[in-house]
Amino acid sequence: NLQGLSCGFEEDRIAKTGRKPKAIVPVYLYGMPAKIDEILSVAERYDISVVEDAAEGFGSRYDRQMVGSFGRYGVLSFNGNKMITTSGGGALICPDSESYNRVMYFATQARESYPYYQHTEIGYNYRMSNICAGIGRGQMTVIDEHIRHHQHIAQLYREAFKEVEGIDFHDNPDERTDSNFWLNTITIAPDLKVKGQENAYKTIVKGAVGGAAGVVHQASTAHTDCEPNANVEAMRLYLDRAGIESRPLWKPMHRQPVYQDAPAYLNGVSEELFHCGLCLPSGPMVTDEDVARIIHTIKDSVCC
């Protein structure tokens, strides 16, 4: 449920559910903040808790305030591909000590303060290991540097794509929004012709794509019932042949077969973006020269 690339929020979707949601979970895709003030206003009107999925948004700001600090709780990810990493896991941002203590109670198996195991509620072992936390403390010393680098790479993409007709860069929608640009993305016009798009889905993909290491289940067909446009896949393949990794935008959850029977209240924007979007290299090891080569390859992939 998005309003284009600005990741806005449509209040009428709540009314259409016919019942009060347990929570509103804004997701800051690719690091881009949502219009959180609008979301908080709706949440207050309907008395709904807001839990921010800031997994990709660590360091992003809205109205100069860090995302993840607006709602009842905020969630960060420290997976291996995020702004900083602990190799896995993440962090939960709590608004006060009472909330923190409640979270820690359940995260430590809901144990009570007896010299033996005593549980009156079901708890879980959700704490990060000391080793992972130690890695994270070290990583915190470079977080500002990483954010500046990602934003610098975004500026290079931003300037380069201004002159490429049919390709739009996913940018901050207004001055209130300050993305960390964790992952830089573009959208490709459906009528833009890309070299090789007539053969885009002729071959079944073999092996992991886009960092999906460990994937062992082999696809049985080249097509699914919801996939990127042929010109997007053609550009991905063109970049791949040049040794440049890219991948489509995230597939909408309601189009995943495992959720095909789940209720969804939609406006079609998430599917539209999936059909035409592509993620580009953005990490801390990407250099200015790398970006220049990526831009050159993308331009070269477009038919004259």
Residue-wise pLDDT tens digits, 105-140: 999 999 999 999 999 999 999 899 999 999 999 999
DSSP H or E segment with residue 278: strand 277-280
* Domain residue ranges in the chain: 8-140, 143-303
Residue-wise pLDDT tens digits, 255-278: 999 999 998 888 889 999 999 999
The pLDDT > 70 percentage for the chain reads 92
CA distances for 199 relative to 33, 68, 81, 237, 298, angstroms: 37, 43, 31, 10, 17
Q: Distance between CA 86 and CA 178 in Å, rounded?
A: 25
Q: Distance between CA 54 and CA 33 in Å, rounded?
A: 9
Task: Note the pLDDT of residue 11.
Answer: 66
CB 21 within 8 A of CB 42: no
The answer for residues whose C-beta is within 8 angstroms of residue 220's C-beta and 6 or more apart is 204
Mean pLDDT value across residues 144-172: 97
* DSSP type of residue 179: -
Pairing, β 23-24 against β 49-53: parallel
Closest to 233 measured CA to CA, from 192, 273, 278: 278
Q: Is the dihedral of CA 238, 147, 77, 13 positive or negative?
A: negative
Q: Distance between CA 91 and CA 94 in Å, rounded?
A: 10
Closest to 262 measured CA to CA, from 270, 253, 271: 253
Residue-wise pLDDT tens digits, 208-261: 666 566 777 788 899 999 999 999 999 999 999 999 999 999 999 999 999 999
- Read off the pLDDT band of 2 (50, 70, 90): very low
Which CATH number is associated with domain 143-303? 3.90.1150.10
Q: Specify the fold of 8-140.
A: Aspartate Aminotransferase; domain 2 (3.40.640)
Task: Note the pLDDT of residue 1.
Answer: 43
Phi, psi of 14, rounded to the nearest 5 degrees: -65, -45
Mean pLDDT value across residues 61-88: 96
Res 6 pLDDT > 60: no
Same fold flag, 8-140 and 143-303 = no
Task: Please work out, in degrees rounded to the nearest 5, the angle formed at the alpha carbon of residue 232 by the alpha carbons of 228 and 233.
Answer: 75
Q: Is the dihedral of CA 279, 273, 193, 202 positive or negative?
A: positive
Task: Note the pLDDT of residue 272.
Answer: 95
Q: Distance between CA 43 and CA 226 in Å, rounded?
A: 32
The answer for residues whose C-beta is within 8 angstroms of residue 173's C-beta and 6 or more apart is 5, 6
CA distances for 64 relative to 40, 67, 69, 179, angstroms: 16, 9, 11, 11
The region of weakest confidence among 141-145, 151-155, 214-218 is 214-218
Q: Distance between CA 49 and CA 56 in Å, rounded?
A: 21
Q: Is the dihedral of CA 292, 297, 302, 304 positive or negative?
A: positive
CA distances for 156 relative to 160, 192, 221, 290, 294, angstroms: 6, 22, 37, 11, 11
Task: Note the pLDDT of residue 3.
Answer: 47
